[in-house]
Structure 1
């Protein structure tokens, strides 16, 4: 089943089970984020990716420079272990991870959550790639994808026990928009997909095409 089909199926299930006010608030929040135009201001193909040094779930430092020394890097910005849409996507990325490796690429996810939640996410989703901690969303900011939640939707996050200031440890109600990037070995962005609608994600197979094109240019 395609990734988007899985996401659509979950969305329909959630709509049936969640309070109508909650579903509508999340939909309104998403629509307002779309209309804000922030996604169009995020880093795009041809831009230089911000360099970073982040820690994985084991506390080991991981730098973009070191990853790029081994080949292209695929980055997926991840909202957190609490987000079922994101977990479905991570599983779909894991399913193509070996094909990414075969093309010389390294896959990593980036989240504002702490190491404990990242380790939980890796275990529950059976991931063989790291989830790196972006404290206070600094790297998401540099990519132009971090946004602040509206007051009216915060109460529904609390209702589902998703208290972001505590999960992130920064005291703020903010998240990265779901985003996926391919960074070429020279540090430029070869692929960028940023969607303010967290229920919509591109198919992982797109990454394989991008990596094949990069290989052909080398």
Structure 2
């Protein structure tokens, strides 16, 4: 079963179970974000990724340079452990992790949540790759994928106990758009997929041809 098939199935289940007003508000939020065109303006293929320092679940600093010293980097931004769509995607990435490593790349996931929630993500989704914290979404902002949740949807987020200012510890209602990047060893974007619609995610196998090209170039 493809990743998108799983996401579609969950969306349909949620539509049947959630209050109609909440489902409609979330759908409208997505449409309004798409209409801004922000995803099209985000960092794209050929751009240089700014150097960054993030922290892992143990509080250790991880820099872009550290990651690139091992080879290309696959970096997946997700909304948080509270997001069922993200958890489905993380499991799909875990299933592809062996094939990603076999192509000489390092896989990391990035969210704005703190270490405790990231540890929960790793535990509940049985992940073998690191989850890094992008505090206040500073890196996401530099990449152009951080956005502010619309006021009209906040009450529905709270209905599901998703209080982002508390989850992120920054007092703001910000989220990263789900995004997946391949960064080559020179720090440039070789692949970019930014999803203003969080219910739509690319298949992990879409990464393989790009990683194969990078491997061939290095040989």
After TM superposition, the score normalised by the length of structure 2 is 0.99
Alignment of 1:97-112 (within 5 A): 97-112=97-112
CA apart distance, 1:63: 0.9
Counterparts of 2:163 and 2:140 in 1: how far apart (Å)?
19
1:84-126 CA distances to partner (integer Å, 9 max, x unpaired)?
A: 0000000000001011111110000110000000000100000
CA apart distance, 1:61: 1.1
Counterparts of 1:46 and 1:195 in 2: how far apart (Å)?
19
The number of aligned residues is: 218
Q: For residue 179 of structure 1, what is the aligned residue in structure 2?
A: 179
Counterparts of 1:78 and 1:63 in 2: how far apart (Å)?
19
Retained in 1: the 8 A contact 2:104–2:215? no
1:144-190 CA distances to partner (integer Å, 9 max, x unpaired)?
A: 00000011100000000000000000000010000000000000000
Q: For residue 202 of structure 2, what is the aligned residue in structure 1?
A: 202
Retained in 1: the 8 A contact 2:81–2:87? yes
Counterparts of 1:118 and 1:78 in 2: how far apart (Å)?
11
Q: For residue 30 of structure 2, what is the aligned residue in structure 1?
A: 30
Alignment of 1:116-195 (within 5 A): 116-195=116-195
* SS of residue paired to 1:190: strand
Retained in 1: the 8 A contact 2:7–2:199? yes
Counterparts of 1:139 and 1:132 in 2: how far apart (Å)?
11
Counterparts of 1:97 and 1:216 in 2: how far apart (Å)?
20
Counterparts of 1:125 and 1:73 in 2: how far apart (Å)?
21
Counterparts of 1:109 and 1:139 in 2: how far apart (Å)?
13
Q: For residue 50 of structure 1, what is the aligned residue in structure 2?
A: 50
Counterparts of 2:13 and 2:172 in 1: how far apart (Å)?
29
Q: For residue 14 of structure 2, what is the aligned residue in structure 1?
A: 14
* SS of residue paired to 1:96: helix
Q: Tell me, which stretches of 5 or more residues in structure 1 are unaligned?
A: none
